[in-house]
Structure 1
């Protein structure tokens, strides 16, 4: 089999930098999938030596496949026809059935053969060149890219994320005959827009990366360019006697902005260091795409590092230009900060009244009042300061109307903390204004103060109840108020901070804080069900089997912390050697009680016991009651199940020796009561029957 390297490159106007990496990844994944489809069942065997690599710069998307087979493999297709016995008559002449099958196959009767009692026709399909398939695959990959909104250019009806300018498609040293996005495939790529705005002729795909780097001032590989930038940033920071802080998202974005990165360091006036560091960082990062540096103690320094897309003959001119650009941005931040400090957060509360939170749920001021009430209740339940919680909740959203946050929206909460500190508010109140938004994402830190925890929970519960209360829960594709994220954040705080709060009770309190909600009936139970269901994905990520989640959920615990403790206990129980047998026994008991009816708490009559096995089980159960009561009072579910696991031998012996459905009705009912007691002990923690 012959192999060749394949290269495709699409040259474009500057692609969206934040989306460049995801576009490249999606392009490669789509190409890999399509290539596997071309070779079908033989793909794993044939493509073992094929390596696929994606390239992406601001002006190009490319893909290279090495050692790609030039043809699909030949294969034999067997068409099966009628049974042999009906294909020939008594004189061994072909019947109409055989003649019809031969005609269908486009073959003569002599070309047919017998296989497993039936007539069959074997047809050899020759190997097919993949040239045309590759062109079609590339078009398919481009069409399937995750582009929210495509654009047209000129008079063409072709659509893509940005206008296309050239197309390279080589298979070995051959240019494939194809047209992609209005451009005929060729072997000419183009270098850097400023350093080498000329064509570069490629003889073979293997030359692609080196030709662009050596002649064209282009580092085509996204990951290589990213590592190059990162190394340059660290070296530049070291030369300043500082340490660079590199945000991965910003690094990806900058990598998507340049083809020939050159790191340059600049300086800003030290007076700007009086502004909160976060505001300086936001200004540099969001508007200028600069990286900031810190000293050994983590304090921001008056320097920045920028990544230029040109190798300037006079880099100082470029640095000076960047310093001139950043100065007014930082001056604005300093002005906003000083202006905002002249007005207390408390004086801004009334300014929240005209700001709509949600058309049917009132203003941000209304929300603040509701959250204040609920946060106070929560703080009281977790031994926090109720007055601080109430105060912090009323001030929590006031920084939204500050000049700084109006300009730098990502600083909400953080500026509230600084302004509250400036106003002389208690440190915990000030910190809670920032902590209300924690956690912001998966794995983020949690509020570390009681006041911060109370507000973070109250704010999320108020939103959840409100949106569900006006019949606007999240759907499969839409969650505009991020209710799923709010739920997971709430659950994390309650579980990881070990706050044993009754969520149903808090949801009822939150719902009662609203004057009128159309879907008020059963609202708290609906929201609770939605919230606890989020645990399913949580535990799945931790490797906890779904049946454990369902076993605990069957008990309907309303405290997330209690729910989590039960899950951990059942997950531990599952590892015990007795678990499988006891789960099966519980399932058997559950089925018996479902058919015969659960007698409830009716006492077992020991005088009706006839078998040693039932007496032994009853004795063991009775001896555990006191201990189980103590352990349940401590919520020590793990110990409860460990003790119940010791019943396995007695339970197995009971089912081996005792016929539950005895002829004597009283004996039968008594045995069912004994099984009901057994079942009720296991149900103390979870429905163990669901593990069977």
Structure 2
């Protein structure tokens, strides 16, 4: 079958940089899926798909695309053979109607698997005539939150469309897309070559734009070019450039012909906290900052220009002129903010609402303060420092610097606390209590920071659940799921022996009256323990390991984690499957009984052999494992319990549990209860798969 290259390009005004990659991926995937639906995956085995994305264009190149949809045959089933003809051998009305529906005569039908059927032939057809409909359908489904119209056109897209290229081989596919007639003319760089460029072959698209139009259409090629230019500029001035991948992607989406240029700012601005300068340069100007050998900020920046200037120094000076007032503002905010202590700013928090039913940010800070002091005592920290840090931890929110650069909250609190001569740990906690800010972020290091971080999250959880506003579905406006995972990470990864129920009760007691006051502790506790499921799934730990531990409802996250990891290890032992099955069998037997089962065993009622052996081993393990359970050494406990496999298997092979003699039966049930309780010291092993 013959094949040609298909090129589609949509020329637009500048596309939203942060959406460029997702739009390009959706366009490529949509066209691929459309063609797969038309031709089938097998027909596209030799077809390659390549997406191009630049500020003013989205394009897809499909190489070696078959030129026609091959002939196909479809078997259409009709009435059953037993009713197809009457007693005289004449075709029934059902058969005649079916033939008419298929556009065939009765004698063209055949019996297949007890039914009369018709083989419908779908003739081959050219692909070219179907491409416009596929592209149009894909464009309508692109992930565009808000579409716009332009001029008198009724077409809608994320930005005004300026031209459309549709080439199949060297021929234009005539059609209208987004109110534009398709053609073979693209356009070059807005400044370097703002003219039409005629295209004759899809495979020459990227190279033609690059050589003639001064446009790098390939996103990845532009990105790597920018990266190499950044590194080269940094080496030239003897610094290290910090390449934030998010900023790199955004800058790549903003430039068609990137050129890296290095500018400089006044060294006096280095007196301002470096992160404030970095935020100003990156967020507002899309500049990359540089560090010296000691990771200190250098008075340089690298900007990516979308033009290869004949006078680059003029471009550099222009950027220096733009960044100067930005940095001057940051310096002004910093110096002005230092004239007021964090403590004095807490008064302003009384006018900032945290949540209408939960009071102000000041109220929240007071609650954090009380809870943080309690947590600090339990983890061996300084309760006074934690209480002080909690009271001040939101004060920088009303500073001029944070109002201008919200992403600096916490960090500026740290600098202002140092300026106020607060203790080092109190200052560090101003920033640390926001950690982890995102998935995989670093955790607080100091005990004061840890205490305030946990207190802040638990207060939010209890407050929102207490007014009956838990997360629902995908809606989580206060990021309670993230707050929960953050608190769990801190407790587990910092090895803290904290009891969630105790802390949640303390958090709830700080509220005077919550609508769900009576149930809030249990509700939040269950919500937090349920978050462990996603935690372990992400780490590749089987979910039934979590379920086996969750059945016991341990309220200490560190203890919960130790149990899950012990169960995970236990399942690697050869005895685990048999013991899990035995636990399930014991659980089923005991669950059918009414009332409490005694655990005292009468040795005189034990039979010889398997029953006595199991009782002896259980008694030995009860004594041996008591210290292991006490100190949470669950892996050792389960390894020791693995030796029960032989005695347990023998017991069930040789002993009738539900004996006719009531005393013997009760004695055996007591033995099984002791056996089960040993495993329940770690988890409900009956819930894990064999």
TM range (shorter): over 0.9
Are residues 1:560 and 2:560 paired?
no
Aligned residue runs from structure 1 range 236-251, under 5 A: 236-251=233-248
Root mean square deviation of aligned Cα: 1.6
Q: Secondary structure at the match of 2:33?
A: helix
Q: 1:461-483 CA distances to partner (integer Å, 9 max, x unpaired)?
A: 11111111112111212211111
Residue correspondence of structure 1 range 209-248 to structure 2 within 5 A: 209-248=206-245
Measured against aligned partners, the alpha-carbon deviations of 1:106-141 in whole angstroms (never above 9, x if no partner) come to: 322332233344433222222233334322222222
Q: Where in structure 2 are the equivalents of 1:507-586 lying within 5 Å?
A: 507-586=504-583
- TM-superposed CA distance for 1:89, in Å, is 6.0
Secondary structure of 2:592's partner?
helix
Aligned partners of 2:280 and 2:327 also within 8 Å? yes
Alignment of 1:25-40 (within 5 A): 25-39=25-39
Segment drifting more, 148-157 vs 295-304? 148-157
8 A contact 1:438–1:456 mirrored in 2: yes
1:290 is matched with 287
Match of 2:70 among 58, 63, 73: 73
| Cα distance in 1 for residues equivalent to 2:474 and 2:594 | 44
- C-alpha contact 1:279 1:411 (8 A) present in aligned 2: yes
Match of 2:477 among 450, 475, 480: 480
Corresponding residue to 1:260 among 253, 257, 261: 257
Matched residue, 1:52: 49
Q: Does the residue aligned with 2:624 lie in a helix, a strand or coil?
A: helix
Q: What corresponds to 2:161 in structure 1?
A: 164
The residue that corresponds to 1:399 in the other structure is 396
**1:247-646 → structure 2 map (5 Å cutoff):** 247-597=244-594, 599-646=596-643
5+ residue gaps, structure 2, are none
Q: How far apart are the structure 2 equivalents of 1:163 and 1:204?
A: 26
**1:473 counterpart SS class:** coil
1:599: how far off? Answer: 3.9
Q: Deviations over 1:380-408 (max 9, x none)?
A: 00000000001111111111121211111
- 1:60-209 to 2 correspondence within 5 Å? 60-84=57-81, 86-87=83-84, 94=91, 98-209=95-206
User: Is 2:20 the counterpart of 1:20?
Assistant: yes
Q: Contact 2:230/2:302 (CA < 8 Å) preserved in 1?
A: yes
User: What is the Cα deviation at residue 379 of structure 1?
Assistant: 0.3
Alpha-carbon distance in 2 for matches of 1:530, 1:46: 50
Q: Shift of the alpha carbon at 1:96? A: 5.0
Instruction: Give the superposition deviation at 1:679.
Output: 1.2
Name which of structure 1's ranges 434-443 and 475-484 shifts more when overlaid on structure 2: 475-484
- Residue 677 of structure 1: aligned partner: 674
Distance of 2:208 and 2:56 partners within structure 1: 16
**How far, CA to CA, are the matches of 1:515 and 1:639 in structure 2?**
45
Q: Is the 8 A contact 1:312 1:318 kept in 2?
A: yes
Deviation at 1:491, TM superposition (A): 0.7
Give the Cα separation in 1 of the matches to 2:92 and 2:322: 91
- Runs of 4+ aligned structure 1 residues displaced above 6 Å come to none
Which residue number corresponds to residue 7 of structure 1?
Answer: 7
* CA-CA distance at 1:87 after TM superposition: 4.2
Q: Helix, strand or coil for the counterpart of 2:74?
A: strand
Instruction: Measure, in 2, the Cα distance between the counterparts of 1:25 and 1:598.
Output: 62
| Deviation by residue 1:327-376 (Cα, 9 ceiling, x = unmatched) | 11111111111122222212212121111111111111111100000000
- State which drifts further: 233-242 or 608-617: 608-617
The worse-fitting range, judged by mean Cα deviation, of 91-100 and 488-497 is: 91-100
* Cα distance in structure 1, aligned partners of 2:497 and 2:2: 68
CA shift for structure 1 position 300? 0.8
TM-score between both structures, scaled by the size of structure 2:
0.97
Contact 2:599 2:671 in 1 (8 A): no
Shift of 1:596: 2.5
CA distance in 1, matches of 2:177, 2:36: 22
> Whole-Å Cα distance in 1 between the matches of residues 623 and 473 of structure 2?
48
Query: TM-score, normalised to structure 1's length?
Result: 0.97
For structure 1, the residue ranges without an aligned partner over 5 or more in a row are none
2:597–2:669 Cα contact (<8 Å) kept = no
Number of corresponding residues:
689
CA–CA distance in structure 2, aligned partners of residues 81 and 17 of structure 1: 55
1:77-117 deviation per Cα after TM superposition (whole angstroms, max 9, x unaligned): 11234454554567765455544443343322332233344
Moved more, 475-484 or 296-305: 475-484
Q: Which moved more, 1:207-216 or 1:662-671?
A: 662-671
For the 8 Å contact 1:602–1:673, the answer to whether it is kept is yes
Q: Is contact 2:599-2:674 (8 Å) kept?
A: no
The structural deviation recorded for 1:665 is: 2.4
Task: Measure the CA separation in 1 of the matches of 2:170 and 2:65.
Answer: 13
> Residues 534 and 312 from structure 1, CA distance in 2 versus in 1: closer, same or farther, beyond 3 angstroms?
same
Q: How much does 1:241 deviate?
A: 1.0
Map 1:656-667 onto structure 2 (within 5 A).
656-667=653-664
Counterpart-to-counterpart distance in 2, 1:384 and 1:577: 44
Give the secondary structure class of the aligned counterpart of 2:351.
Answer: coil
